[in-house]
């Protein structure tokens, strides 16, 4: 693969300059930071998505113990958790926002960047989130559909991106994410 070889050549040059370089092509999309960001996007798109809320609450900034999350789900108060409030507030702004703009709002306004800085490998977490940003921007730029009419909010909006268009581009279904993330205590 010419692109892989070119990347390795660039990495060698950076290493010679004393800049550490790590390649992690596989697995970035299912990394903890990206999985939590995808769950956050799913909540913004659909605040009633209890699966995404459970994932976000147990693996995201709240780090809610699984038992507490299950109790809240059984008591039907999961959506009332204070950590979800900024995401649910973003829901009202979703129709006019593209996926990349929504990701930017999540990273700064909902505190994903601050949370990622506290993970075991913050540099890797931020790199994975940056790649998710880049993929969202590339998705929007490559959108083969004609521009939607002004009265329609589909196209590259966050809910639309989570649906049929974003999924094939990345080879997986972004809304339903794996629950098997390592717990960090």
Q: What is the pLDDT of residue 108?
A: 85
pTM: 0.68
pLDDT at 143 over 70: no
CATH number at residue 127: 1.10.486
pLDDT band of 52, cuts 50, 70, 90 = very high
**4 found inside a domain:** no
**26 found inside a domain:** no
**5 found inside a domain:** no
In the chain, how many domains are there? 1
- Residue-wise pLDDT for 2-49, tens only, equals 556 777 788 788 888 888 776 655 678 889 999 999 999 999 888 889
User: How many Å apart are CA 111 and CA 153, to the nearest integer?
Assistant: 26
**175 found inside a domain:** no
- Residue-wise pLDDT for 72-88, tens only, equals 888 988 888 888 988 98
In the Cβ-directed half-sphere of 105, how many Cα atoms lie within 13 Å?
A: 19
Which structural domain, as residue segments, surrounds residue 88?
31-143+153-170
Is 135 in contact with 169 (CB distance < 8 Å)? yes
């Amino acid at each position: 693969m010419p692109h892989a070889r070119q990347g390795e050549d660039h990495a060698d040059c950076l290493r010679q300059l004393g800049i550490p370089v790590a390649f992690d092509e596989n697995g970035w999309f299912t990394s903890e930071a990206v999985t939590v960001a995808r769950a956050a996007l799913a909540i913004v798109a659909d605040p009633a998505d209890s699966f995404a809320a459970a994932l976000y609450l147990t693996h995201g900034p709240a780090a809610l113990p699984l038992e507490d999350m299950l109790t809240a789900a059984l008591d039907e108060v999961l959506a009332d958790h204070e950590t979800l409030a900024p995401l649910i507030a973003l829901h009202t702004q979703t129709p006019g926002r593209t996926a990349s703009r929504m990701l930017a709002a999540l990273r700064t306004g909902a505190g994903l960047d601050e949370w990622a800085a506290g993970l075991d490998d913050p540099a890797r977490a931020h790199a994975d989130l940056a790649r998710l940003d880049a993929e969202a921007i590339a998705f929007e730029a490559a959108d083969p559909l004609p521009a939607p009419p002004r009265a329609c909010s589909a196209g590259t909006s966050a809910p639309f991106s989570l649906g049929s268009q974003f999924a094939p581009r990345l080879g997986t279904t972004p809304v339903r994410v794996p629950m098997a993330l390592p717990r960090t205590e």
